Amino acid sequence: MEIKHTITFLPSNRQVIVAPGTNLIKAARDAGLHVNASCGGAGVCGKCRVIVERGDVDGGRSEKLSPVEYASGYRQACVASVSGDLTVRIPQESGISGGALATMVPERHRARMHVFEVDSLKEEGIFAPPVEKFCLELTPPSAVDNRADVGRMLQGLADQYDLHRMVTGLSVLRKIRGVMRENDFLITVTVGRPVNELFKSHIINVQSGCWSSRNFALAIDIGTTTVYGQLLDVNTGKVLIEEGDYNSQISYGEDVISRIMYAERPEGLLRMSELVVGTINGIIAKLIERPVPPYGLTEQPITIDEINSITIAANTTMTHLFLGLEPENIRRAPYVPVSTFFPPLRASDLGLNLPPHTLALLYPAVSSYVGGDIVAGVMGSGMYRTELLTLYIDIGTNAEIVIGNRDWLVCAACSAGPAFEGGGITHGMRAATGAIEDFSLNPQTYEPMNLTIGNKPPIGICGSGLLIIVASLFENGLLNQAGKFNAIECPRLRQGRNGREFVLAWEQDAGVDHDITINEVDIENFIRAKAAIFAGAKTLIEEVGLQMSDLEQVILAGAFGSYIDLDCAMAVGLLPEFDPAKVVYVGNGSLMGARMSGLSNHIRKDVVEVVRKMTSFELSEVVSFKDQYVASMFLPHTDMNLFPRIAKRLMSSFADDVE
Amino acid sequence: MEIKHTITFLPSNRQVIVAPGTNLIKAARDAGLHVNASCGGAGVCGKCRVIVERGDVDGGRSEKLSPVEYASGYRQACVASVSGDLTVRIPQESGISGGALATMVPERHRARMHVFEVDSLKEEGIFAPPVEKFCLELTPPSAVDNRADVGRMLQGLADQYDLHRMVTGLSVLRKIRGVMRENDFLITVTVGRPVNELFKSHIINVQSGCWSSRNFALAIDIGTTTVYGQLLDVNTGKVLIEEGDYNSQISYGEDVISRIMYAERPEGLLRMSELVVGTINGIIAKLIERPVPPYGLTEQPITIDEINSITIAANTTMTHLFLGLEPENIRRAPYVPVSTFFPPLRASDLGLNLPPHTLALLYPAVSSYVGGDIVAGVMGSGMYRTELLTLYIDIGTNAEIVIGNRDWLVCAACSAGPAFEGGGITHGMRAATGAIEDFSLNPQTYEPMNLTIGNKPPIGICGSGLLIIVASLFENGLLNQAGKFNAIECPRLRQGRNGREFVLAWEQDAGVDHDITINEVDIENFIRAKAAIFAGAKTLIEEVGLQMSDLEQVILAGAFGSYIDLDCAMAVGLLPEFDPAKVVYVGNGSLMGARMSGLSNHIRKDVVEVVRKMTSFELSEVVSFKDQYVASMFLPHTDMNLFPRIAKRLMSSFADDVE
């Protein structure tokens, strides 16, 4: 008889039966549970610590665990395998919580928030949605006019709306006879428009009666970590509801490279595709189930059949995995995606729980690492039609940078590493409940003030918190320009396993059973990340013969971009020094772009030109980048002339010390 | 316990278990067997006679059966129901046999056969198939050229073949990465061309290596009775194999009206669609299984994946049922089809056993009763581009007529009734083994000579035989101009139940157990049919201000048209008198047109204009038609000036009599 073991996971109390030797992360996946594994289960990030409360595992020991932790049951799940029945607790910092799904631009940045202006699009006459509905009152057939039903409809569209060059698909052919006669030849025709008027329009649906006032669409942003969706009223441009969820692929690794590697396994691509399709289907179900606040003509519940388009923006890897395109060459030099443009598809062909007539419209990408999410941000933020010389930055696991204006655009992806999402930082975590997101330091006592998401006892540090912590330690003289702790007397400063470390929260104040610290290795990882971004932007702008000081506008996108403290970002040299009045926040630029394309066919058309215009730089191929990067590996930079304000502040604080 | 009865059908020995009360035709259908039922099981045509050899049925008596026949076990299946176990024989004349599937133009007409000239199309530069294959040798990606795989392919098509405006579908996106790298970036791209160069071309398939020499297509003619298919080599235009089969819908009625009525039942449309799709799938399987005579580069077996297009021509009802379009309004005034134009579809979406990339191209129709089969004939025969004033006739259950040339075209359908397919004729049958297809009469003794298909003892009369029989009886003075038998002494002439009748074959000479006769009611039905066709053609040509004598060419299409005896057709007034040298035979014009469109995109393009040009007349709405019809209800016509040659012959034979 085959031997099997039962694993019970806490706190969820889920059980799974597995064979001996099963990896503990695999067992958690099988139970449908998430264990953080930034490194994709490679045993190096140390994020996947769990507590074995009953029974024991083979392996699970690692240098990431202290002897005390090991003795108290902590194991590193990715290197532990099952050898008997177990009860395993997934501690809060290793799992996921709902808090990270808040990506709204915070109150303090709202004044500089980019507002998507439906009315201005309407005024400009470019508010023509990709899918439109037209009511037709047709004359019934007679002996003198017995043309076919489809011919009658096409004539009606030509006569009543000056619409020509129409193609009718099989599903419309199959229902039009009944539809026409159900309501005395009053019908509603749903037309999918091409991006070029020369091409044909597709009649994707016909309904009996007049329904043109009800035309709904979905906008979706597939992030590596999170997926967001919006239900749109296409006639008004309004967002009716928004929903978000974790990308279910997250159990298979936190970054795109882990996902690609999984997709390369047998059936792996299918699995990756099914997972993200499942996440989107879950969001669609939630969007449709939730009652829309009553307004206008949409007081009747919206049904799934009334969704005529779904516009999707995502990075290149996520787009590939969603569509089931082989992503292998995205991760291997010379980094070749399968495609950067995607035709309109049937949403139902992609496994989405949407009716057969719903069009799926995918944002085009520029390259393997400048994806549709960034293109969507460039469109949604209006960067593609501004005269101002603009720097657009979206900081996630990778940071993408676009520089230019309506005449030219250059772009690049910077391998910043996962520091800003909590990766590579000893007590780093995503922006979830208990994460330190704001911070200050008493300049005399060096006593810290930790502000956490949800105001819970701190359990780790998220990206925005990390930036503020490093900036505060630096500006208060605890850190030197090289990112090393100065020899300052301070009870919170001590020698740790990874160089010297600063205790942000003692165990008794924390929501976890250990001190929360930041050490010199963490800070080095942070500096590498910020240096990559700054050097990337500086390289790009200099490649086109300009200087950082020429920038007229800075657009910050993404969750981290929305929460970023500008002063701190300039103090550590993540961003160049500039007037804060030049900053615009767009929040989730990808989702905003998806929404705009879902509402304006003109933007769908423009995006083709914009993508062709976006010159992508492979920074590793640009000779000057390496020098720029090394020069940026200081706080804020080796060339203090680039940071006159912070230089002045440091000088004055030095002067204070001398006094 | 539920009572069931077992029915054994002979000669096939198939068994089926049914509930008491089950209709005998239904039982035969359930057993997968065909019983002729011209009237769709309405109990009026008398074609569905079977012999109950063991057990007995409820009902089954009808005036179509003589008391002797009834006593010997004959029953009319459509009005018989099961009340016990049975053994039932389906006699040869009530079933189907393979003989009817021969639609080749007979030897005697070959000299006047229209030949489809691939070479002349090539010379004219219009031999561009709708689906073409292009080999591309691409440069592998490098750091300086890391464009996406799809972009690389599109650039190759543009550089190497000047091809632009391409759309790539999901299935190509999903496989192109592997395909490109399997054979060192040598690939074959399969491109579906639009009918208008302004529109986009679709890349429907990619293969690793160079395969442009292998490009195959199917041409299909869906007839109401029979379905034919050809496997084409698109590069040479050659027909590699041809196959035919009965349309499986035939069990549900022999004419389009019966099929439409069945389709109106719940699930009936789905059933009709599945049946014809099943027939086509059977033909496809046979075409693919049969080895191609070795020639050129096609010596390797052809696989189903190498079929890139299937072009289908059919009458409007068959097209609707095939596509699953509701046909209700085709049979009800004002006779409105769902559509007359059909977009390119995915063959696999239609249930055809073809790969997902295969395009299904449907011939457009003019109206409910001038269908894609006729349009295909007009294209395939070259009528659409001739200068000659041409009459095109396709005679089946309905006869369709087109008159015109390359500048204008008028058309109409004539309700000729099923006489030419053996319907409404006491001993009529389709052109199957044992059918009298040729005939002559000893002018002195009136002894007939029956020539049958397959040279078997006669079991009935097929359309071409009927024409010759009537013409012979008429020209030999047995019949008068009104179609009544003259009072002539002849042992074969006798009073029957339907007026006087002529015995073509005595029971002892026949392949059935009764005399084979033709009676005055049969002849009246024949005259109605020929009158409808002649009156239709005359009405049409006069509506455009011309005369029958202006005709410069006559094209005869369809099985009946191929076998028709021209002298006889003119003698009885089915066709106007003209020089036999003006006649062209096209055989299955529908299949020929399907083949041409499958080979030449120019013809696919032209057909759109041709259909728009074809002015359809609803003859019942044309005032003069009724008069023309009544005037045509004589042999050959009331106006003998229209038939000077036959008038002269009749005069001279009258003179003979006087001598």
CA distance B320 to chain A (A): 9
Which H helix or E strand runs over B500? Answer: strand B499-505
In a shared domain, residues A447 and A518: yes
Total residues belonging to chain A: 659
B348 within a domain of the structure (yes/no): yes
Among the listed ranges A398-402, A610-614, B633-637, which one has the minimum average pLDDT value?
A398-402
Q: Is the pLDDT of residue B533 over 70?
A: yes
How do B553-557 and B583-587 pair as beta strands?
parallel
For residue A43, the model assigns a pLDDT of 61
In a shared domain, residues A340 and A249: yes
Using CA atoms, how far apart are residues A366 and A337, in angstroms rounded to an integer? Answer: 10
Question: Which of B146, B168, B199 shows the shortest C-beta gap to A336?
Answer: B146
Handedness of CA A100, A102, A103, A105 (dihedral sign): negative
Total residues belonging to chain B: 659
Domain CATH code at residue B288: 3.30.420.480
Tens digit of pLDDT for each residue in B452-489? 887 788 899 999 899 999 999 999 999 999 999 999 88
In a shared domain, residues B171 and B198: yes
- Does the pTM exceed 0.90? no
Q: Which of A361, A264, A321, A345 is nearest to B171 (CA)?
A: A345
A615 touches chain B (CB under 8 A): no
Domain boundary among B171, B189, B208: B208
Q: Is B584 helix (H, G, I), strand (E, B) or coil?
A: strand
In a shared domain, residues A313 and A233: yes
Q: Which amino acid is at B199?
A: F
Structural domain count, chain B: 5
Domain CATH code at residue A609: 3.30.420.40
Task: Enumerate the residues of chain B whose CB falls inside 8 A of the CB of residue A333.
Answer: 143
Question: Which of B173, B325, B335 shows the shortest C-beta gap to A173?
Answer: B325
Residues B161, B167 contacting (CB under 8 angstroms)? no
Tens digit of pLDDT for each residue in B193-211? 988 777 789 999 999 999 9
How do B226-233 and B238-246 pair as beta strands?
antiparallel
Q: Is B167 in contact with A343 (Cβ distance < 8 A)?
A: yes
In a shared domain, residues A321 and A427: no
Who has greater pLDDT, B69 or A385?
A: A385
B121 within a domain of the structure (yes/no): no
How do A614-617 and B80-82 pair as beta strands?
unpaired
ipTM computed for the complex = 0.83
B325 touches chain A (CB under 8 A): yes
Best residue in B155, B177, B179 to probe A by mutation, most A CBs within 10 Å?
Answer: B177
A107 within a domain of the structure (yes/no): no
B557 within a domain of the structure (yes/no): yes
For residue A96, the model assigns a pLDDT of 52
What is the CB-side half-sphere exposure of residue B434 using CA atoms within 13 A?
21
Query: How confident is residue B418, by pLDDT bands cut at 50, 70 and 90?
Result: confident
Using CA atoms, how far apart are residues B520 and A291, in angstroms rounded to an integer? Answer: 76
Nearest CA in chain B to A333: B143
CA distance A199 to chain B (A): 5
In a shared domain, residues B313 and B275: yes
B112 within a domain of the structure (yes/no): no
Q: Which amino acid is at A545?
A: G
Q: Say which DSSP state B485 is in.
A: B
In a shared domain, residues A434 and A410: no
The two structure tokens encoding residue A44 = 């190096």
φ and ψ at residue A426, rounded to 5 degrees:
-45, -50
Nearest CA in chain A to B342: A168
Burial class (CB in 10 A: 0-12, 13-18, 19+), B210: middle
A14 touches chain B (CB under 8 A): no
Give the pLDDT mean for B520-530.
95
Residues with Cβ within 8 Å of A326's Cβ and at least 6 positions away in sequence, in order, are A263, A269, A320, A338, B174, B177, B178
Best residue in A172, A177, A349 to probe B by mutation, most B CBs within 10 Å?
Answer: A177
Q: Which of B104, B54, B112, B368 is nearest to B239 (CA)?
A: B104
Using CA atoms, how far apart are residues A134 and A132, in angstroms rounded to an integer? Answer: 7
Domain CATH code at residue A60: 3.10.20.30
Q: Which of B373, B398, B466 is nearest to B256 (CA)?
A: B398
Q: Is B323 in contact with A173 (Cβ distance < 8 A)?
A: yes
Best residue in B185, B317, B321, B338 to probe A by mutation, most A CBs within 10 Å?
Answer: B338
A656 within a domain of the structure (yes/no): no
Question: Which of A178, A339, A367 shows the shortest C-beta gap to B149?
Answer: A339
Using CA atoms, how far apart are residues B360 and B353, in angstroms rounded to an integer? Answer: 12
Q: Is B173 in contact with A143 (Cβ distance < 8 A)?
A: no
Q: Is B177 in contact with A142 (Cβ distance < 8 A)?
A: no
Query: How confident is residue A97, by pLDDT bands cut at 50, 70 and 90?
Result: very low
Q: Is B621 in contact with A198 (Cβ distance < 8 A)?
A: no
For residue B100, the model assigns a pLDDT of 43
Residues A401, A540 contacting (CB under 8 angstroms)? yes
Question: Which of A337, A343, A350 shows the shortest C-beta gap to B148?
Answer: A337
In a shared domain, residues A444 and A467: yes
Tens digit of pLDDT for each residue in B284-295? 999 998 876 655
B106 within a domain of the structure (yes/no): no
**Domain extent for B643:** 375-418+527-654
pLDDT above 90 covers what percent of chain A? 60
A333 touches chain B (CB under 8 A): yes
In a shared domain, residues A150 and A223: no
Residues B496, B503 contacting (CB under 8 angstroms)? no
Best residue in A331, A338, A370 to probe B by mutation, most B CBs within 10 Å?
Answer: A338
Domain boundary among A159, A188, A208: A208
For residue B179, the model assigns a pLDDT of 98
Q: Is B149 in contact with A335 (Cβ distance < 8 A)?
A: no
Q: Is the pLDDT of residue A562 over 90?
A: no
In a shared domain, residues A360 and A402: no
Query: How confident is residue A561, by pLDDT bands cut at 50, 70 and 90?
Result: confident
Q: Is the pLDDT of residue A252 over 60?
A: yes
Q: What is the mean pLDDT of chain A?
A: 88
Q: Which amino acid is at B95?
A: G
For residue B298, the model assigns a pLDDT of 54
Nearest CA in chain B to A176: B338
A221 within a domain of the structure (yes/no): yes
Peptide bond into A11 cis (omega under 30): yes
Q: Is A368 in contact with B340 (Cβ distance < 8 A)?
A: no
Q: Is A143 in contact with B329 (Cβ distance < 8 A)?
A: no
Q: Is B339 in contact with A149 (Cβ distance < 8 A)?
A: yes
Best residue in B326, B348, B370 to probe A by mutation, most A CBs within 10 Å?
Answer: B326
Who has greater pLDDT, A175 or B290?
A: A175
Task: Enumerate the residues of chain A whose CB falls inside 8 A of the CB of residue B341.
Answer: 148, 150-151
In a shared domain, residues A171 and A144: yes
For residue A659, the model assigns a pLDDT of 42
Q: Is B146 in contact with A326 (Cβ distance < 8 A)?
A: no
Q: Is B174 in contact with A342 (Cβ distance < 8 A)?
A: no
A325 touches chain B (CB under 8 A): yes
Domain boundary among A75, A95, A115: A95
In a shared domain, residues A393 and A539: yes
For residue B71, the model assigns a pLDDT of 85
Q: Is the pLDDT of residue A466 over 80?
A: yes
Task: Enumerate the residues of chain B whose CB falls inside 8 A of the CB of residue A192.
Answer: none
Q: Is A323 in contact with B178 (Cβ distance < 8 A)?
A: no
Q: Is B340 in contact with A143 (Cβ distance < 8 A)?
A: no
For residue A26, the model assigns a pLDDT of 76
Give the pLDDT mean for A310-327.
97
Give the pLDDT mean for A45-64.
82
Q: Is B143 in contact with A341 (Cβ distance < 8 A)?
A: no
A334 touches chain B (CB under 8 A): yes
A367 touches chain B (CB under 8 A): yes
Q: Which of residues 144-183 of A touch B (CB under 8 A)?
A: 145-151, 167-170, 173-174, 176-178
